[in-house]
Structure 1
């Protein structure tokens, strides 16, 4: 059985834009599309589902479509569906969410606790399409980005576009070029060279997706700034998140919070394996 791409809908224009994006995404990966609405007990939701289903049917891509109404807390309902989903797709703002650029509470809760990749469909129409021909992925020092890099390569492959791998590093001006041995020395000075970080992260997926063009970008600015700037010319931004030690959910951290709230294009949070 092929697992579906799941879209959370609430009747807002933002969630309908998420449906539009998800139709094309499901077609790219040849997976079914499943619309989910979490309603309060006793509240009628058939009209809302009908509108979203009709919206999905007007897309240029043909996908296998199903829908479901669940009763109870919206975030918990979507997290539950994410246990057997290709990915969860959400709008950037709900009916009762904050105005402006900020992601609503349901979207943030789902992004922080889902077991599958979570897509928040943000940005203008040109960013939600394929105008820029670019997928951006944030690459950390260490193993935290492995799953995100694999996901980003696959997205660039099915979209037939360029992959931009961004590694941000702020180097203290006073840091010596060769740190003395010993675990006491500051971690900042013991990190691997940026080129090696990118080589190690990209090597495996690059072998699998040989036809994907990869552009490497090393910048010495805060990671939040680097990712938001790179995303300004991208169709998709991909970031990773590790599990919280001893707790349920993911370590989103300040960087992921910033891009979830302010990214100019759709963003995917990919849980580390």
Structure 2
């Protein structure tokens, strides 16, 4: 069975931009696009949808939102196969269920509620934290397109653990599809008790920390580089705080890829601190890739 790319829709401008991006991505991957609308999203009565005549019922609103999104996707990619699902449940479980049989989930960073103008939507966080497949949250100015972004670069954050493999492979695949450079970033920090060494002069050997970090990054990339020799790769080893380094990198990327370092919290699975910060502040779309445990 050909797995689709799934995008959540709610009729907001943000979700319509997500449809544009997802249509491009589905065309790049040559897979169908599936639109998912959850009925509970229509409860934001204080922010009605534009262009909906009169006071539409829940079913009429759902049909309107899905039809509008489907037509928009087909206009963008006329040969794209588009299907849809209207669900009478909360959006997070609806999208998580669709994610069981999806290549990836695409969600906007905001919905239709006024609170969403201030905070990253709970839907985006809930789905990114718990989905079985990669989740792409459309932050930043992504120019409504996945095909030929203005920055011509995919960035992947590579951790020290072997679980980084899934995120690395996803990033290589995306860079190859877009025919762009892949920048692999590995962040390291010295111990709190270590005194910073003086600045090195040209020709001085790298510090042991930097060398270990460079070796770790090269090892994490080795198999993917071998499998995708056409992808141009820039390897960056940087000392600092991971979330700050990656936020800086997001300003020069069309897509930022990170592994989902999940932890158990009082309300179930939650994202790790780095991914959480990136989803709130990244300058470009963020792909959160589940890691093997």
The answer, yes or no, to whether TM exceeds 0.5 is yes
Give me the whole-angstrom Cα distance separating, in 2, the residues matched to 1:223 and 1:110.
Answer: 22
- Match of residue 14 from structure 2: 14
Give me the whole-angstrom Cα distance separating, in 1, the residues matched to 2:164 and 2:180.
Answer: 20
* 1:225-256 CA-partner distances (Å, limit 9, x unpaired): 11010010100000001454699975521111
- Match of residue 150 from structure 2: 131
Largest Rg, 1 or 2: 2
- Match of residue 203 from structure 2: none
8 A contact 2:261–2:271 mirrored in 1: yes
* 1:28-59 CA-partner distances (Å, limit 9, x unpaired): 11110000101049721101111111111221
- Match of residue 130 from structure 2: 113
Check if 1:43 corresponds to 2:58: yes
In structure 1, list runs of 5 or more residues that go unmatched: 178-188
Written as runs of structure 1 = structure 2, the 5 A alignment for 1:191-206 is 193-206=212-225
Q: Aligned-pair RMSD on alpha carbons?
A: 2.5
Written as runs of structure 1 = structure 2, the 5 A alignment for 1:4-153 is 4-40=4-40, 43-44=58-59, 45-60=62-77, 62-96=79-113, 98-100=115-117, 102-126=119-143, 128-129=145-146, 130-153=149-172
* 1:77-128 CA-partner distances (Å, limit 9, x unpaired): 0000000000000011001263446320111111111110001111114485
Give me the whole-angstrom Cα distance separating, in 2, the residues matched to 1:127 and 1:227.
Answer: 22
In structure 2, list runs of 5 or more residues that go unmatched: 43-56, 197-207
Change (3 A) 1:125 1:192: closer
8 A contact 1:162–1:212 mirrored in 2: yes
Q: Size of the alignment, in residue pairs?
A: 262
Secondary structure, counterpart of 1:119 in structure 2: strand
Change (3 A) 1:235 1:85: same
TM-score using structure 1 length = 0.88
